[in-house]
Chain A
């Protein structure tokens, strides 16, 4: 019997990371230190992939990729860990000139996502005009309204991407996915903007069980936009993944302190990032036990 293209899309983190190629443009969902697909980012750290253009409302996802030398260019409006305002690896990458940057206003960035998600070359917005965003992005052009107002607007180019990674609370094996927290962020836009989108989730559920988890409108992601699904329990750690878990503030603090010092970072990397995802989760649990 034909499955009509709804065959099982379940993959491992390694399969997702292994499908990336150097030089690709990679979109990462979430926002700051909130519902980031950290397990998939960690899997990328273990591959030889490099020279990525990363498109993200940046948090520790960007920091980890910068620290591993995976990023050629970053497209963003900010990089922050929310409760820790500044991201040390991103700062270091900028201050040593090891990455290129496309820096947009938050709203401009969203318009770029909307344009890419809907196959438009650009979308117009006033946000960004008169600021130094126009100075540091000389490729940006403006358009003039053809109507009586004649208003000048920024033509934000579509933020198209080869691959997008997002993390959701629930998903089924077909690739439909559900968020259960208070904010969808821009994850549906990332999913639609990329040629290929992978969803990691806290828990795989039967399609029939979505209704037990949340209302119909929590079904943010359609399988039409999803190439693969990965079950990664605690996979957003250490970022917030409400209501499954909040941000691991203590661990984030450890990350930030380690990231700010090369020796401490080597120790952090050895302890937490030298093995696979299961090893990471074990090491985090052990650290949590001993810091109690």
Chain B
């Protein structure tokens, strides 16, 4: 297959993000962490998960998955911020957030770095992290996998992990690998490495002891139809490539 050689890392990541939503059915995919997970959620809907509800990045639930950066041509629903926050309690929602720090159990921080009383670096604040993680399925997207992000201990728990009673931390997709919590004590495990990435690269870029199975498969490649949908329909401008360096 001639396209194989030209598949980019961003496209592998987007397909991995699409896989996060496999089996979710008719729930809202709130992929707020960036272009790649947003593309992934719309790709899932356009291919194997047609029941998924997706937005246009604003308060419109779009009738069809819309290309990145475009408004919904047709809306099938309205989801202003207040209803988003009620939907968190309702539960029919799977959110993908972008952590500044994440630990081995999936606790995350987007609030501040250092002591909360007087932070060394103030970030966003907890946003919807506490409610999302306690009540909804949550996944994470990390465009630059490093020991600064994958850390032993997060400075402020804005998203609760498995050991604090998270509803479900499904998986973490990074620019290097897919990680999940499919272990007896819900510690982060290396599920697959992206083509061209070695297991030791991921281990070196992770600041805690990762569960590494004896055999680590490669992350699957997007198939021809997924590539066509990404390149020709959902992201013709290639915004995904800006978020991940190949």
Chain A interfacial positions (CB closer than 8 Å to B)? 31, 58, 76-80, 85-86, 90-91, 94-95, 97, 103-108, 110, 125-133, 135-136, 182-186
Contacts and interface: CB of A to CB of B under 8 A. Distances in A.
A45 to B, nearest CB: 22
Interface in B126-174: 126-131, 133-135, 156-160, 164-165
Contacts of A130: 130, 134, 157, 160, 164-165
Contact of A132 (B89, B135, B158): B158
A104 B117 CA distance: 15
Contacts of B124: 78-80, 85-86
A230 to B, nearest CB: 25
15 contacts: A78-B126, A78-B127, A79-B124, A86-B122, A103-B126, A106-B81, A106-B131, A107-B128, A127-B88, A129-B134, A131-B164, A132-B158, A182-B60, A182-B78, A183-B81
Contact of A86 (B59, B120, B123, B160): B123
Interface in B72-92: 78, 80-82, 85, 88-89
A77 B134 contact: no
Contact of A95 (B60, B85, B119, B135): B119
B122 A127 contact: no
A234 to B, nearest CB: 22
Contacts, number: 120
Contacts of A183: 58-59, 80-81
Interface string B85-127: 1001100000000000000000000011000111111111111
Contacts of A79: 124-125
B125 A127 contact: no
Nearest to A74: B125
For the complex of A and B, 9 pairs with smallest distance between CB atoms? A127-B131, A131-B130, A78-B125, A94-B122, A105-B130, A132-B157, A183-B80, A91-B122, A106-B128
Contact of B157 (A95, A104, A131, A182): A131
Given A125-B89, A131-B159, A182-B59, A95 B130 contact: no
Contacts of B125: 58, 76-80, 103
A286 to B, nearest CB: 31
A252 to B, nearest CB: 16
B61 to A, nearest CB: 12
Interface residues of B, number: 38
- Which of A31, A80, A103, A131: most chain B Cβ within 10 A? A131
Contacts of B134: 126-131
A128 B160 CA distance: 9
A131 B127 CA distance: 12
Nearest to A90: B122
Nearest to A133: B130
Contact of A104 (B58, B112, B126, B156): B126
Interface centre among B58, B59, B80, B82 (most CB of A within 10 A): B82
Contacts of A185: 80-82
Contacts of A106: 81, 85, 127-128, 131
B89 A107 contact: yes
A124 to B, nearest CB: 11
Contacts of B130: 105, 108, 127-131, 133
Most A CB within 10 A of own CB, among B81, B88, B122, B125: B125
A184 B80 CA distance: 7
